[in-house]
Structure 1
Amino acid sequence: MNTLFPIFVKIENLNTLVVGGGYVGLEKLTALLSNAPDAPVTLVAPEIRDEIRELAQQHPNLTLIQERYQAEYLQGRDLVIVGTNDKAVNRQVQQDCKARQLLVNVADTPDLCDFYLSSVVKKGDLKVAISTNGKSPTFAKRFREVLEEILPDSLQETLDNLTAIRNQLKGDFVQKMEKLNEITKVLR
């Protein structure tokens, strides 16, 4: 049974640390910045890919620290994502985060994760997150591709129209909800 509680966080309001400057670090960093380009993110790693350095030139809130991970880098962080190929470092970061009550994701190690990064479908303001409870990120990626293909690009216009209607509705919350439910019934 999947007991995950799905939430969308305002990552641009959080201070995120990414540990790892290789391919996985790049993948996680790209996911963060594609959803919130101005998010304050620090990446620490002894070696940093050129693609990550290029991202830092495009994102002024991305700080790169080319050093080995140390627990002091957790100071002031809200969220931590680990993507190194060193299992001892991954476990150490997870233990350091637990001691500080920080949420941590350790790539490809579900047992060390407090949360999973979902595969995300984006169509304008619509975002749909897909999770397989850590069992198959590849399936989540493929399912995302299917949804991206079948969801029309005109969804943003629909969302904008529904927002305008919601803003014009009179009555209390229940009355507004009933009216919006009636209007959106055609989506079934």
Structure 2
Amino acid sequence: MSQRFPDVQGGGSLIVAWQVKGKNILVVGGGEVAAGRILHSLNADAKVTVVCPKSGLNDEVAFRVAQQQISHVDRCFEPHDLDGADMVLSAVDDPATSSRIWQFCKERQLPANIADIPSECDFYFGSMYRDGPLQVMVSTNGNGPKMASIVRKKIADTLPQNTGAAIVNVGKLRKKLRDVAPDISEGPKRMKWISNICELWTLEELVKMSDEDMDLVPTFYDANIVPSFDDIHAKSDASNFTSQ
């Protein structure tokens, strides 16, 4: 075959955006690593329970307990703590305890991450950059967390500061377009049309898109026309002139 397909590169991870909103995440431990895991989980709107003696909580975890952002079990881990959990994040310094938690999770088929033991992880935490709805994760597949942080910072430095705002506006526009063309069969056309808008408009134009602009853009959809930012404002000016 003349067509060339991508080469398979084994040894990677399947990087996905795991939706845990409303799910129960159990965090074992209360130190710095646990604090990072907790923040990631709360940012994803999960329900978090921390199992750790009160004396082992660092300032950040103690603050989240005091603010009732998370539930706290003031003792060391016990197997029944896994009851009702959808995911387990272990962040304790005791390797024997960590491996024991991993075995309990395997018996219950619970997805788990055991800090600092890559071989006992169903998934890894990468270095995360966040700007509103934009999330960029860099993973080294457990080989070098510090390197992931360095690469993430370099990527973040190349992104315009208003990228998140542009994405928010595109999300709003997608919802308006679904109202104009709600039929499921329109899905591929909608996706292609929105993609063309994103490619045609500059980031600055996407950020500047007003609610009025968002109402006008979908009016070009039925004609299968991808309007430029100037087209939208020309139509807006004409509409305003007519209404005067």
| Structure 1 pair 150–110 and aligned structure 2 pair: CA distance change class (3 A) | same
The amino acid that maps onto 1:137 is P
Residue 44 in 1 paired to residue 51 in 2?
yes
Q: RMSD value over aligned CA atoms?
A: 2.1
* Offset, 1:61: 4.1
Residue 14 in 1 paired to residue 28 in 2?
no
> Counterparts of 1:79 and 1:30 in 2: how far apart (Å)?
15
Partner residue in 2 for 1:109: 117
Q: How does 1:18-167 map to 2 (within 5 A)?
A: 18-33=27-42, 35-36=43-44, 38-46=45-53, 47-58=56-67, 60-166=68-174, 167=176
Does 144-153 or 114-123 show the bigger shift? 144-153
| Structure 1 pair 181–97 and aligned structure 2 pair: CA distance change class (3 A) | same
The question of whether the paired residues in 1 share the 8 Å contact of 2:25 and 2:41 is answered with: no
> Counterparts of 1:61 and 1:71 in 2: how far apart (Å)?
24
> Counterparts of 1:51 and 1:164 in 2: how far apart (Å)?
34
* Offset, 1:40: 1.4
| Structure 1 pair 51–123 and aligned structure 2 pair: CA distance change class (3 A) | closer
| Structure 1 pair 183–82 and aligned structure 2 pair: CA distance change class (3 A) | same
Q: Which 4+ stretches in 1 moved above 6 angstroms? A: none
Does 172-181 or 87-96 show the bigger shift? 172-181
Of 171, 184, 188 in structure 1, the residue corresponding to residue 198 of structure 2 is: 184
Give me the identity figure in percent: 31
Does 16-25 or 149-158 show the bigger shift? 149-158
The count of residues paired between Structure 1 and Structure 2 equals: 184
| TM-score, reference length from structure 2 | 0.68
* Offset, 1:185: 3.0
> Counterparts of 2:46 and 2:103 in 1: how far apart (Å)?
25
Larger radius of gyration: 2
Any gaps of 5 or more consecutive residues in structure 1?
A: none
Task: Choose between structure 1 and 2: higher helix proportion.
Answer: 2
